[in-house]
Amino acid sequence: MQRGVMSSGGGRSMRSFAPSRILIYLVVSLIAAAWLAPLAVVVLNSLRTNEEIAQGSMIGWPQHLAWSNYAAAWSGFCVAETCAGIRPYMLNSALVTIPATIFSTLLGAVAGYAVSLWRFRGDSWIYGIVTLGIFLPQQMRLLPWTIVLRDTGLMNTLTGLVVIHTIQGLSFTTLFCRNYYVAIPQELIRAARIDGAGFFRIFWRIILPLSPPILVVTVIWQFTHIWNEFLYGVTFTTGQQQPVTAALIALSAAVADIPQHGVQSAAVMIAALPTLLIYLIGGKYFVRGLTAGAVK
């Protein structure tokens, strides 16, 4: 795989000692199994009937595959008073996550380009303030957002959540793009400006064509974050307007009386699928976002 890169440390591994090698593999495999266990439990339970789970525990092999759990979780199950499964909530999450991801990424690209290459008076100050948003806890913004959403009539709307995630997402997207763009030589921009290219032309012709690597990171990061977000979803929306994370909590409260763990597992699986898929496909970029957000 990436042997070439990884072997940079020279021969410091304990290759020569066979027993210690076996021990290493054993320990790593055990931890890996423990790490996969919760996922395995959900997948297996999503295929077991409620009777089966009730007779044994949540940990077990399905006797016959109950695919009907997925159908019930998707479109038949009751959350609160409505019995439409988690489909409407998945749709809500998609309708919030996709536009908010696109808007925050595009705006972040423009902002990152402006603060790193275009430069203007006060750019480092305003960039500093924007990146503070990464640290400011959600709880400090809950009341102001409540008031803003109420006064603009966006309370309990998906548009409201899109607005919140777009504006708040700028902290991360601007940081990511700015850190990527600072590596582009200023001379390139200067030369283009002497040729008469303006802000937008340079953005379209020079910056965007160089951007795909960072835009992939930013999109994956934003999508994952917004899809997984819970606090704003549960605070600013109710009932049919809720994103899937909030609906899952409502669902687990609803099934507390009559356990329906098979269906609930299927619902959990469906809700986790979009970000799991993105992680499987673009894991490398996900990790890059993770480390970029951490060290820069």
Stretch of 63-71, 78-86, 152-160, 169-177 contacting other proteins, by CB under 8 A? 169-177
- Contacts with other proteins, 122-141, as mask; x by CB under 8 A: ----xx-xx-xx-xxxxxxx
Burial of residue 146 (number of CB atoms within 10 Å: 0-12, 13-18, 19+): middle
Look at the alpha carbons of 215, 216, 217, 223 in this order and tell me if their dihedral is positive or negative.
positive
Per CB under 8 A, 151 contacts other proteins: no
- Nearest partner of 148 among 133, 163, 130, judged by Cα: 163
The Cα–Cα gap between 228 and 245 comes to 7
Out of 156, 157, 159, 228, name the contact with other proteins by CB under 8 A.
Answer: 228
Pair of tokens at residue 52: 């089966």
Out of 50, 92, 97, 171, name the contact with other proteins by CB under 8 A.
Answer: 171
Interface of this chain with other proteins, residues 98 to 117, rule: CB under 8 A: 107-108, 110-111, 114-115
Query: Are residues 48 and 62 in contact, defined by beta-carbon separation less than 8 angstroms?
Result: yes
- Contacts with other proteins, 12-51, as mask; x by CB under 8 A: xxxx-----x--xx-xx--xx-xxxxxx-xx--x------
The Cα–Cα gap between 42 and 24 comes to 28
Interface of this chain with other proteins, residues 67 to 96, rule: CB under 8 A: none
Out of 49, 116, 222, 245, name the contact with other proteins by CB under 8 A.
Answer: 245
What value does the CA radius of gyration of the chain take, rounded to a whole number of Å? Answer: 24
* Cβ at position 154, least distance to other proteins in Å: 14
